[in-house]
Each structure stands twice: as C-alpha cells, then as structure tokens.
Amino acid sequence: MIRKTIIKSTLLVAAIALSVQSQAVPSAEALSYTCAGCHGTNGASTGDAIPSIAGLSSTYLVDAMKAYKNDERDPTIMNRIAKGYSEEQFELMGSFFEAQEVHKNRDQTFDVAKAAKGKKLHNKYCSKCHTDAGIVAEDDAGQLSGNAKLFLQYSLADFHDGTRSQEKKMKKKIKKMLKRDKEAFDLIVNYYVSGKK
C-alpha cells in the first residue's frame, strides 16, 4: 500500500487548496467545480488513480459520499472531502454528475490476453448486476469499464478484506470467482481498463 500513501499525500495538497473554495458555492454546477481538480472537467477523470464520476447514478454518488462522510469506506482522500458538504449538497452533486456522459479513460495500459480472460470472468460472475461492462447508471453500482486502474484494484481489495461493505450476492460471486482463479482480480481489472465491451 505504499502507492496508496503516495497518492494520499499528493491529493491532500490539492484538497486543502480546494476546501477554501467549497464554502460558499450554492449551485450544483458550482459545487462540481470543486471536484474538477481531481476528477476532471464534469467528472471525466484522466490517469489511472482517480475514478471518473461523470454519468454515475445520483443514488450511487450520494450513497458513496455519505459512506465517505461517515467513514464507512477507507479511501485515501474522499473522507476528508465529503465531510465538508451537507447531504443536500450531495444530492445537488448527484444530479449534476448523473446528467454527464459516462467517460472511459482510454489512455491506460492493459494486457490484451489478460483482458480477454477477464471478459469471460465478468460475463460469468458480474454482468448480472454490472450491465454493459459496468457503465449503466441504472445499475446503481458504480463504473467498471474504462475506470481508473488503481481505483479498481483498491476497490476490489477493500471489498475482499471487508474494508468496504458489499452486497451479499456480490461477495459470493467474488469468492466463487477467486476460488476458481487466484489471478481473477488482475484479469478482470485488465478487462475493465481496456474499456471494451
């Protein structure tokens, strides 16, 4: 988790710069500007560490922000950020980002052979809830295809060791998948990072 620590210290500087701005901004669009420094314009992030939030369902985004605020996830930075806003503001952000087009970051590297294997795993174990390779807002289940590699890796690791709570059914599927194939997380992350269906 050394990389996680490095990301954390870099992000802290950005967050401190932004927190001043976030005090007196009322509209949904203005609120979203405070996220852009890390998540990109209108939530379309670049790089492999910060997840895109463009096109996430409002329900998912609001739940995620509440979980960060209440320390129910173990993020590098979002817990500090979420604490600076009210639930009403989360709702405003949710409606703003839901209205944006989903963004796939196609500049990331991935292993083609691993991605092909990962696709099979996804279709077998995950596609029921994560429709269309996991980019459908109505699923209320975040974004998988085209999302940031490190974020996906941490998310899976955090689900697996119980740091981040997950649906019972997903837990079962992940357990089953890992039993069949110890490399499954690596394969499936390469598939998502490929951004392909």
Residues at the interface with ligand HEC (CB under 6 A): 11, 14-15, 18, 34-35, 37-39, 50-51, 53, 61, 63-65, 75-78, 81, 93, 125-126, 128-130, 141-144, 151-152, 155-156, 166-167, 169-170, 173-174, 177, 188
Nearest CB to ligand HEC, comparing residues 174 and 193: 174
Residue 78 near residue 50, CB atoms below 8 Å: no
What gap in Å lies between CA 157 and CA 70, rounded to an integer?
A: 20
Nearer to ligand HEC, 9 or 113 (CB): 9
Q: Are 96 and 166 in contact (CB under 8 A)?
A: no
| Smallest separation (angstroms) from ligand HEC to the CB of 140 | 6
Shortest spacing between CB 64 and ligand HEC, in angstroms: 4
C-alpha 8/C-alpha 31 separation (Å) is 22
Tell me the one-letter amino acid at 142.
G
Which of these, 33, 53, 189, lies nearest to 109 by C-alpha position?
189
Residue 145 Cα to chain centre, angstroms: 11
Report the residue number, 11 or 115, with the smaller CB distance to ligand HEC: 11
Q: Least distance (Å) from ligand HEC to the CB of residue 101? A: 16
Residue nearest to ligand HEC (CB): 142
